[in-house]
Structure 1
Amino acid sequence: MAWTWTLETAAGDVIRRSEDFESRGDAESWIGEAFGDLVTDGVDQARLFEGENEIYGPMSLHADE
């Protein structure tokens, strides 16, 4: 199954989904590298999915939370 992020506003409104990743590690590496750009684009939080199953979230992308 593919791993993806749902990228959201602080209110939980979905902005978009990430690309598909082959592993959880790849997905987590991507968000670690991209979070600065995501925040600049208005993303406040993210949820990690394996297929349609939510693994965890919401995870804030802001350092103060």
Structure 2
Amino acid sequence: MSYRWRYERTDGTQVDGPELTFEDQAEAEAWFTAEFEGLADDGVEQVVLLEGEREVYGPMLLSP
């Protein structure tokens, strides 16, 4: 299974974000660590990590 991020507003409404998939959870998390400030600047308020269609964790807020 591949991993990907779902991008949302705090009310759970999905918003557009990069359509990327990752081989493993560590790769997905490393990408997010490097990119989260840009995502927040683009209007993403929270993210959910998915493995296939299964929610691994989240929602995780991007604001402090």
Common fold, TM-score beyond 0.5?
yes
The match for 1:5 is 5
Give the C-alpha shift of residue 16 in structure 1: 3.0
Q: Which runs of 5+ in 2 are unaligned?
A: none
Separation (CA, whole Å) in 2 of partners of 1:2 and 1:16: 19
Q: What's the C-alpha RMSD, in Å, of the aligned pairs?
A: 1.0
Q: TM-score scaled to structure 1, two decimals?
A: 0.90
Give the C-alpha shift of residue 44 in structure 1: 0.4
Which 4+ residue blocks in structure 1 deviate beyond 3 angstroms?
A: none
Greater strand proportion: 1
Q: Which runs of 5+ in 1 are unaligned?
A: none
State the number of aligned residues: 63
Separation (CA, whole Å) in 2 of partners of 1:54 and 1:16: 18
- Whether 1:48 and 2:59 are equivalent positions in the alignment is no
Q: TM-score scaled to structure 2, two decimals?
A: 0.92
